[in-house]
Chains A and B, each alone.
Chain A
Amino acid sequence: MSKRLYLIFFLTFILTGTLFASEIALVSNYSKVAKGDILEVKLRISDLDSVQSLSMDLEYTGDITFYDWDQNTSGIQGKLLNESYTTTWNASSNTMNITFNFNQARDITLDYPVSVLFSVPDNTTSSSLSFKLKNFIKNQNITSITTNTLNVAIDNEGVVDLSSEPSTIYSISGLKFEISENTFNDTRELSVKETDLNTEGYSQFVPQGDSSSSPLNVYYKITVNGNIKTQRFMNVYFPFDSSQVPAGYSPEDIKIYYFNETTLKWERIGGKVESIGGNSYFVKASFNHFSLFTLLADKYEFPGNTIEKIEVLPNPFSPNGNGKNDVVSIKFNLKNKSTVTLGIYDRVGREIRRIVTDKEYNSGDNVIEWDGTSDIGSIVTTGLYLFNFKVKDESGRNDKKTGTIIVSKNMKE
């Protein structure tokens, strides 16, 4: 047999092995987690063919404990494709066993169908965590399974080092931060402290509430060393549960407020409420400053202009595909829940991109992004562009606002 034929056989063997190998990847939203926080480890299953029974151990190193919302540390039952799977924690061997048992063989290709929560102790001495799947016991139809090792760094309690990493989600003191690349120009430490107004010296500025609002009496001091404003907006998720919602209000009424150090007043940011299972919720908002934050339930309806406080970051932006400042964020504050139309225009008034048309947004701060493309999908040229908001709230009040966005593909970055 010629050498060429051997080579073909060899390549075919490699290719066949690659095609039929199943993959279960370990994934986490967080590349760093602070002490005292919860870490979610997820399983992303690719091409797991004809699986009927499958058992594996999620082995971890580092000082953590299994956690679930119901405080049940013995294991949880879950649903996968309407059939059950079981997780069982074995603290002595630092493993979490995960077992699928299906009524019949089935193919699975799913992102994150299974996730396991771990709690990082406040007093842990570990500086990192490591997770790996092993000890696969599988039915004979599955030839092989490839997997990865997941590493997560641990930072100090309530503090995360924002080194120059790509877009990342951080969990700090129960708050979730979505921070894009280039949000900070340099390395910063972001810290979150659950606090009270007496500690902060603001005892005379307690939000009192009124006939349309009621405070939840939780306060978070979010700071970054240098006390700067970020180059991009961060998405910040504040947790609460239904027991904290004042009587007469629903979870959807919970809004984020921040303390304006200049005016010495609590100012409304707003926010969008998302359920995260059970009685637990996040209220999410986008901002680029650091301060003292609190939650209030409010049912305010504001008269007058419906859109204000428009901010554009970064401006200029550079949609040149180099991964830096490729997208511009347009933040706007709605007095009331409204439908929004946003168009991008060139300098002579041609509409080159309709970003949203009559889309409904909640009151408070909202963010819309533009990637620099026109309606036909091509990247626009360097120059000065306009954005134009048309807003109509539920009472029929109309408002319009126009501003400028600079595109510079040759920006120094």
Chain B
Amino acid sequence: MRRNIIFILIIMIFSLVAHAEFEYIPVSVKEIAMAGAGTAFHKDIEGVHVNCAGIANLKRGQIYTFSTEQFSLSELKTSFIAYGSKIKGLGAFALSNIDFGNEDYSENTYTVSFAREMFENSMIGVNVKHLNVYIKNTEQESGTAIDIAFTGKIYGTGYAISVRNANAPKLNEVIPRTISFGLEFDNSKNAKTYFDINKVDSYGNIENDPSIRIGQVFRLADKFRLFGGYASRPYKISGGFSLEFSNRWEVDYAFSSMKDLPVTHSIAFKMNI
């Protein structure tokens, strides 16, 4: 496993090439609240597009819905709905849909996900995504993309590696591969720190140095958690909270603020079935 991690880190450092279509925009409120430092955090349906291996931890069925307007712009509306469940003796699966954009530019992603435990404390997950992009006055394009993720614990520290659009399919142009490596540190019983390196593997010769992200979670009460985060490229600070009702419902809120652009507000609901 250690050899695998080193191999993927080498890919992250030396990979090049480029894109804007379908570049990943977070659809998990908690990931946004931690400025994107959510790769090693997610262990349920909410993070199926951050770290698809995480759904292997599902104990029961979950439904998750998410909505945001990026930078408070209605043209950048993003919505996400997902359902996931455990299949006894086999692993976990999920179905999800992401809609992004407006009437002149829209992206639609249908995803089938599968994850399972490989051996103790090590899980693998795969997303198979059908992508559609519509641009006004342009032929509609579609393609298939694959995400691969690994997650687990080494020496008591949680880790996750996620490669999105690993096959880099071509729609109007080649869509970007994104590679994320995350770590989870237990500070205390009620506080955890998350560390992420995220790299877009290609961006049309646009600066694409890795983004470093740090997130912090505080459990202030049994059913209430506060989140905060910082990202380096692009610079971003963010925060949010998660509130659970009984063991069935959960409401999340996050904001994300960048230097010059308007603040992004996001909200999500999760239901345990």
Contact with A along B49-82 (1 / 0, CB 8 A): 0000000000000000000001111011000000
Complex Cα distance, B101 from A386, in Å, reads 12
Is there an interface contact between A402 and B71, defined as CB atoms closer than 8 Å? yes
Known interface pairs A383-B19, A384-B76, A388-B260; A347-B25 also in contact (CB < 8 Å): yes
Query: Which of B8-16, B148-156, B203-211 contacts its partner?
Result: B203-211
Q: B interface vs A, CB < 8 Å? A: 18-21, 23, 25, 70-73, 75-76, 101-102, 104-105, 135-139, 172-173, 203-207, 233-234, 236, 258, 260-262
Contacts of A390 in B (CB 8 A): 260
Is there an interface contact between A380 and B204, defined as CB atoms closer than 8 Å? yes
Is there an interface contact between A408 and B138, defined as CB atoms closer than 8 Å? yes
Query: Which of A148-156, A268-276, A303-311, A349-357 contacts its partner?
Result: A349-357
Is there an interface contact between B234 and A383, defined as CB atoms closer than 8 Å? no
Known interface pairs A347-B70, A380-B20, A381-B20; A409-B207 also in contact (CB < 8 Å): no
**Closest beta carbon of chain B to A387's beta carbon, Å:** 10
Q: Does A237 contact B (CB under 8 A)?
A: no
**Closest beta carbon of chain A to B197's beta carbon, Å:** 16
Contacts of B137 in A (CB 8 A): 316, 408, 411-413
Nearest B residue to A325 by beta-carbon distance? Answer: B137
Complex Cα distance, B173 from A385, in Å, reads 15
Give the residue of B101, B135, B139, B234 whose beta carbon is less than 8 angstroms from that of A350.
Answer: B234
Q: Does A345 contact B (CB under 8 A)?
A: yes
Contacts of B135 in A (CB 8 A): 316, 382, 406, 408, 411
Give the residue of A376, A382, A406 whose beta carbon is less than 8 angstroms from that of B173.
Answer: A382
Q: A interface vs B, CB < 8 Å? A: 315-316, 343, 345-352, 374, 376, 378-386, 388, 390, 400, 402-404, 406-413
Known interface pairs A346-B23, A349-B236; A406-B136 also in contact (CB < 8 Å): yes
Complex Cα distance, B72 from A386, in Å, reads 12
Give the residue of A316, A345, A379, A410 whose beta carbon is less than 8 angstroms from that of B139.
Answer: A410
Nearest B residue to A377 by beta-carbon distance? Answer: B205
**Closest beta carbon of chain B to A388's beta carbon, Å:** 5
Complex Cα distance, B103 from A106, in Å, reads 63
**Closest beta carbon of chain B to A380's beta carbon, Å:** 6
Complex Cα distance, B208 from A374, in Å, reads 12
Known interface pairs A379-B204, A381-B19, A408-B138; A349-B104 also in contact (CB < 8 Å): no
Is there an interface contact between A374 and B205, defined as CB atoms closer than 8 Å? yes
Complex Cα distance, B207 from A378, in Å, reads 11
What are 25 residue pairs bridging A and B, where the CB atoms are less than 8 Å apart in the complex? A316-B105, A348-B23, A349-B261, A350-B206, A376-B205, A379-B204, A381-B19, A381-B20, A384-B20, A384-B76, A386-B73, A386-B76, A390-B260, A400-B260, A402-B73, A402-B262, A404-B105, A406-B105, A408-B135, A408-B136, A408-B172, A409-B172, A412-B137, A412-B138, A413-B137
